[in-house]
Amino acid sequence: MKKLLAAASVLALCAGHAQANECTNPVQITWSTIAGFYTDAMNQFVASFEKENCAKVQVINTDNSQLYNKQVIEMVGQTGAYDVVTLETAEKAEFAANGFILPMTEFLAERPDLVEDVAPTLRSITVEYDGNIWGLPYYTYSAGMFIRQDLLDDPIEQAAFQERYGYPLARPETWEQHRDIAEFFTRKAGEKLKGQMLERDFYGVGLMAGPFPDIQDELSAQLWGMGSDWLTDEGVVPVDDVEKVLAHYVGLLKFAPPAALTVTYDGVMNQMRDGQIAMTHGFFLDQWPNAVKTEESVPGAVIAAIEAPGKRAYVGGFLLAVSSSSANPEMAMRFVAHIGGPEVQRQFADMGGATTLMSVLSDPVYETAERRPLNGEYKTLLQVFESMKGFSSNLFNTPFGAKIYNTMHIPLQSAAAGQITPRQAAEQLAADVAAICGGPCPIKR
Amino acid sequence: MANVLGVSHASDMVVRSKAGMSDRTFSILLVAPALAVILVFAILPLVYALDVSFRFADLTRGGIREYVGLDNYRRVFSDSNFWTAGWITLKFTVVAVTLQMTLGVGIAFLLHGMTVGKGLVRSLIILPLATSAAVTGLFWRYLYDTQFGVLNWILGSFGLPEPNWLGDYTIALWSVVIFDVWQWTPFVALIALAGLQALPREPFEAAELDGASSWRVLRTLTFPLLKPVLFLVLVLRTIDCVRLYDAVAVLTRGGPGTSTETMTFYLYRTGLKLFRMDYASTMAIFFLYVMLVAAIFALTPLLKQFTDRAKEA
Amino acid sequence: MHEKRSLPLEVLRYGLIVLVIGFFVFPIFWMVLTSLKPDDAIMVSPPRFLFTPTLENYRHAIEDKNFLFYIRNTLIISVISTVFVVILGSLAAYSFARYNVGDGHLLFFILSTKMMPAIAVILPFFLIFREVGKTGFGQFMHLGLDQHGALILSYVVFNLPFAIWLLVSFFQDIPRELEHSARLDGLSRLKVLRKVTLPLAAPGIAVTAVFTLIFCWNEFLFAYILTRKTASTVTVGVESFFTLQGILWGPVAAAATIAVAPMLVFVLAMQRYMVRGLTFGAVRG
Q: B62 and B195 share a domain?
A: no
Residues of chain A with Cβ-Cβ distance to B256 below 8 Å are 211, 261-262, 413-414, 416-417, 419
Inter-chain contact B272–A69, Cβ cutoff 8 Å?
yes
Inter-chain contact A36–C40, Cβ cutoff 8 Å?
no
CA nearest to A71 within chain B: B272
pLDDT computed for residue B4 by the predictor: 32
pLDDT computed for residue B235 by the predictor: 86
SS3 track for chain A: CHHHHHHHHHHHHHHHHHHHCCCCCCEEEEEEEECCCCHHHHHHHHHHHHHHCCEEEEEEEECHHHHHHHHHHHHHCCCCCCCEEEECHHHHHHHHHCCCEECCHHHHHCCHHHHHHECHHHHHHHHEECCEECCEEEEECCEEEEEEHHHHCCHHHHHHHHHHHCCCCCCCCCHHHHHHHHHHHCECCCCEECCEECCCCEECCECCCCCCCHHHHHHHHHHHHCCCCCCCCCCCCCHHHHHHHHHHHHHHHHHCCHHHHCCCHHHHHHHHHCCCECEECCEEHHHHHHHCCHHHHCCCCCEEEECCHHHCCCCCEEEEEEECCCCCHHHHHHHHHHHHCHHHHHHHHHCCCCCCEHHHHCCHHHHCHHHHHHHCCHHHHHHHHHHCCCCCCHHHCCCCHHHHHHHCHHHHHHHHCCCCCHHHHHHHHHHHHHHHHCCCCCCCC
pLDDT computed for residue A14 by the predictor: 46
Domains parsed from chain A with CATH numbers? 7-142+315-387 (3.40.190.10), 143-311+407-437 (3.40.190.10)
**Residue A96 in this model has a pLDDT that exceeds 60:** yes
Q: Are A407 and A432 in contact (CB under 8 A)?
A: yes
Query: Considering the domain boundaries, does residue B139 fall inside one?
Result: yes
CATH code for the domain of B230 = 1.10.3720.10
Which one, of A373, A370, A376, A369, lies nearest residue A361 by Cα? A376
Inter-chain contact A271–B147, Cβ cutoff 8 Å?
yes
Compute the average pLDDT of residues A233-259.
96
**How far is it, in rounded angstroms, from Cα A88 to Cα A405?**
9
Inter-chain contact B19–C107, Cβ cutoff 8 Å?
no
Compute the average pLDDT of residues A14-35.
73
CA nearest to C173 within chain B: B309
pLDDT computed for residue A309 by the predictor: 95
Count residue pairs from B and C with Cβ separation < 8 A: 336
pLDDT computed for residue C90 by the predictor: 94
- Counting as contact any 3 or more CB pairs under 8 A, the partners of B are A, C
Which one, of C160, C191, C192, lies nearest residue C86 by Cα? C160
Question: Which residue in C67, C119, C225, C245 has the most chain A C-beta atoms within 10 A of its own C-beta, making it the best mutation to test that interface?
Answer: C245
Residue A137 φ then ψ, to 5°: -80, 150
Q: Taking a contact as any Cβ pair under 8 Å apart, which residues of chain B between 124 and 153 contact chain C? A: 124-136, 138-140, 142-143, 147-150, 153
Residue B221 touches partner C, C-beta closer than 8 Å: no
| A170-173 CB contacts, 8 Å cutoff, 24+ apart | A171/A147, A171/A304, A171/A306, A172/A147, A172/A309, A173/A309, A173/A310
Q: Taking a contact as any Cβ pair under 8 Å apart, which residues of chain B between 186 and 205 contact chain C? A: 186, 190-191, 193-195, 197-200, 203-205
Q: B118 and B237 share a domain?
A: yes
Q: B65 and B89 share a domain?
A: no
CA nearest to A268 within chain C: C246
Inter-chain contact A94–B60, Cβ cutoff 8 Å?
yes
Residue C45 touches partner A, C-beta closer than 8 Å: yes
Out of B63, B258, B275, the one facing A414 most closely (by C-beta) is: B258
Residues of chain C with Cβ-Cβ distance to A274 below 8 Å are 43-45
| Distance between first and last Cα of chain A | 28
CA distance C121 to chain B (A): 5
**How far is it, in rounded angstroms, from Cα A141 to Cα A88?**
10
Compute the average pLDDT of residues C249-258.
91
**How far is it, in rounded angstroms, from Cα B130 to Cα B190?**
13
pTM higher than 0.80 for the full model? yes
Please tell me whether residue B64 adopts helix, strand or coil conformation. strand
Complex confidence, ipTM: 0.86
List helix spans (H) across C2-117.
Answer: 7-35, 56-59, 67-99, 105-112
Band (pLDDT 50/70/90 cuts) for residue C272 is: low
Question: Which residue in C66, C232, C238, C244 has the most chain A C-beta atoms within 10 A of its own C-beta, making it the best mutation to test that interface?
Answer: C244
The domain boundary, picked from B254, B287, B303, lies at B254
Compute the average pLDDT of residues C146-150.
91
Q: B155 and B299 share a domain?
A: no
Q: B57 and B206 share a domain?
A: no
CA nearest to A318 within chain C: C244
pLDDT computed for residue B13 by the predictor: 41
Q: B169 and B287 share a domain?
A: no
Residues of chain B with Cβ-Cβ distance to C285 below 8 Å are 199-200, 203, 225
Inter-chain contact B169–A403, Cβ cutoff 8 Å?
no
Question: Which residue in B58, B253, B259 has the most chain A C-beta atoms within 10 A of its own C-beta, making it the best mutation to test that interface?
Answer: B253
Q: B250 and B123 share a domain?
A: yes
Inter-chain contact C271–B143, Cβ cutoff 8 Å?
no
Compute the average pLDDT of residues A70-82.
91
**pLDDT tens-digit readout, A312-360:** 999 999 999 999 999 999 999 999 999 999 999 999 999 999 999 999 9
pLDDT computed for residue A304 by the predictor: 97
Out of B191, B263, B307, the one facing C104 most closely (by C-beta) is: B307
**Residue C246 in this model has a pLDDT that exceeds 70:** yes
Q: Taking a contact as any Cβ pair under 8 Å apart, which residues of chain B between 65 and 94 contact chain C? A: none
**How far is it, in rounded angstroms, from Cα C111 to Cα C105?**
10
Domain total for chain B?
2
Inter-chain contact A64–C242, Cβ cutoff 8 Å?
yes
Residue C59 touches partner A, C-beta closer than 8 Å: no
Out of C45, C64, C65, the one facing A274 most closely (by C-beta) is: C45
Q: B168 and B290 share a domain?
A: no
Q: B218 and B88 share a domain?
A: yes
Please tell me whether residue B157 adopts helix, strand or coil conformation. helix
Pairwise pLDDT comparison (A229 vs B191), residue with the higher score: A229
Out of A37, A200, A297, the one facing C244 most closely (by C-beta) is: A37
CA distance C127 to chain A (A): 7
CA distance B195 to chain C (A): 5
Q: B46 and B182 share a domain?
A: no
Compute the average pLDDT of residues B35-45.
87
Residues of chain B with Cβ-Cβ distance to C121 below 8 Å are 45-46, 48-49, 284
Out of B167, B255, B274, the one facing A407 most closely (by C-beta) is: B274
Can you say whether the dihedral through the CA atoms of B78, B80, B85, B89 is positive or negative? Answer: positive
**pLDDT tens-digit readout, A167-201:** 999 999 999 999 999 999 999 999 999 999 999 99
Query: Considering the domain boundaries, does residue B183 fall inside one?
Result: yes
List helix spans (H) across C173-248.
Answer: 176-184, 189-192, 198-218, 221-226, 234-237
CA nearest to B270 within chain A: A407
Residue C130 touches partner B, C-beta closer than 8 Å: no
Query: Considering the domain boundaries, does residue B264 fall inside one?
Result: no
Q: Give the residue numbers spanning the domain of B54.
A: 41-78+276-313
Inter-chain contact A417–B256, Cβ cutoff 8 Å?
yes
Residue B46 touches partner C, C-beta closer than 8 Å: yes
| Distance between first and last Cα of chain B | 10
Q: Taking a contact as any Cβ pair under 8 Å apart, which residues of chain C between 202 and 261 contact chain B? A: 214, 217-221, 234-235, 238, 247, 249, 252-253, 255-256, 259-260
**How far is it, in rounded angstroms, from Cα A428 to Cα A412?**
9
Compute the average pLDDT of residues B190-205.
79
Q: B101 and B236 share a domain?
A: yes
**Residue C282 in this model has a pLDDT that exceeds 60:** no
Query: Considering the domain boundaries, does residue B249 fall inside one?
Result: yes
Q: Are C163 and C86 in contact (CB under 8 A)?
A: yes
**How far is it, in rounded angstroms, from Cα A399 to Cα A443?**
8
**pLDDT tens-digit readout, B67-112:** 998 999 999 999 999 999 999 999 999 999 999 999 999 999 998 8
CA nearest to C229 within chain A: A60
Pairwise pLDDT comparison (A107 vs C179), residue with the higher score: A107
**pLDDT tens-digit readout, B114-168:** 877 777 888 788 889 888 888 888 889 989 998 888 999 999 899 999 999 999 9
Class for domain C66-240, per CATH? mainly alpha
Residues of chain C with Cβ-Cβ distance to B232 below 8 Å are 165-166, 169, 280, 282
Residue B141 touches partner A, C-beta closer than 8 Å: yes
Band (pLDDT 50/70/90 cuts) for residue A20 is: very low
Inter-chain contact C189–B15, Cβ cutoff 8 Å?
yes
Inter-chain contact A94–B169, Cβ cutoff 8 Å?
no
